[in-house]
Amino acid sequence: MTSPRRSLWAWLTWRMVALAIAATAAVQAGMWLRYSYWDDKVDAQLPSAISAELRELEGAPPTEENARRLREIYGQYGDRFVMPSESDDLLVQALLSLAIVPFVVLFALFLARRIVRPVLDVAAAAESVSKGHFSTRAPVIDSAPAELQRLANHFNTMAQRLEAYDRELQDSSAAIAHELRTPLTAAIGRLQGIVDEVFPFEEKQIRTVLDQLGQIHRIIGDLQVLSLAQGGRLRLEITQFNVHDFVDERISWARPFLQERGLVAVNHVGAEETMRADRGRLGQAVSALIDNAIRYASDGGVVEVDCRADASAIELIVSDLGKNAQGEDLARFFERFWRGEWSRSRHAGGTGLGLSVVQAICKAHGGHAEVAARVGGGTEIRIRLPREDKLTA
């Protein structure tokens, strides 16, 4: 069972107070022992009968007769009752204080070590991380004050995120190089073939090259959106618009691809439903979802777009009747350049960035996108954005 966390202020204050009390008590105990020794010395110099009578009188009620007898004893043996001088008392106090100093120093060093150790651990871990070792973690000491535990935990969280960002950067760099190299190599090869007169110089060949260059252009555009969104610099132009007309517009843009695959897109959004968002950016997201459904849907199937709304948010749902995405596919659906084994987008011209862009646009609006396996087969992706009273331009 772990001990409750204590704040650094309370942890240090109580120890310093205890140290001050202990030092004061030690000096007072030394002075008490000094006067106890003086009392014993005086008793040893008096006759045993007088010593016993004196103790009895000092403990008896202060009557006139007792006072008179005390004066007689003090007068007769006064030379033996000489009190220690003030200078002697000061000297003894100084010696006692000096004797306590080593213990105070040792205790202070112990406290300093308890405080500095977690900080040194974090400093050493930070130095390691600064050299690129992002897997380094600072130990969290259970006996340390709460603030120092939080410092170590926050550092470890930061290091974990840096490690994830570094891994994502490496993976993304390799994926970007691959995704750009493929269409660029194809375009260069096609142009070289035209120059070498392997391919005829005709419109069909030029369009093939333009398609490859368009693929590169889309990848660069998607990467720009992701970069702006990640840096919080994706500007939104919020307007209010009719959702049904908006979805119809996006379906009409995708109609040539729908017809090519033998698919039908159905708009189930109510005619009166409205929403506030950046129409252009949200249109980019919805078009990416329709394109995703086209690539994954079964031939001759249906792509459906629906809308659900409540007081706090509005959802756009794009679903298909293709093969279900399950397990790891669902968990990694919005990762950059990730494609499930059931995906055919690599061979159908997809960049692998579309769904990452969808999530980025949703988050820029204060919402999110999520994916789920559809009952009866297929996949549905939901875009959930805050309602108009939650989102301002």
Name the pLDDT band for 109 (thresholds 50, 70, 90). Answer: confident
The predicted-structure confidence for 143-192, as pLDDT tens digits, reads as follows 777 778 888 899 999 998 888 888 877 777 777 777 788 888 888 998 99
352 token code pair: 């692998």
In 3-state terms, what secondary structure has residue 83? coil
* Dihedral sign for Cα atoms in the order 343, 346, 348, 353: positive
Tell me, rounded to whole angstroms, the distance of Cα 240 from its chain centroid.
35
Please tell me whether the overall predicted TM-score, pTM, comes out greater than 0.75 for this model: no
pLDDT over 70 at 235, yes or no: yes
Q: What is the mean pLDDT of the chain?
A: 79
Tell me, rounded to whole angstroms, the distance of Cα 94 from its chain centroid.
53
Q: How far apart are CA 262 and CA 268, in angstroms?
A: 20
Q: How far apart are CA 306 and CA 319, in angstroms?
A: 8
Residue 45 neighbours by CB under 8 Å, 6+ apart: 77, 80
The predicted-structure confidence for 51-82, as pLDDT tens digits, reads as follows 777 677 767 777 777 777 777 776 666 555 55
Name the pLDDT band for 88 (thresholds 50, 70, 90). Answer: low
Q: How far apart are CA 379 and CA 333, in angstroms?
A: 11
Q: How far apart are CA 295 and CA 349, in angstroms?
A: 9
pLDDT over 70 at 4, yes or no: no
Q: How far apart are CA 190 and CA 195, in angstroms?
A: 9
Give me the numbers of helices (H) and strands (E) for the chain, helices first please: 10, 7
Catalogue all structural domains in the chain, each as residue range(s) with its CATH number: 8-146 (no CATH), 157-230 (1.10.287.130), 238-386 (3.30.565.10)
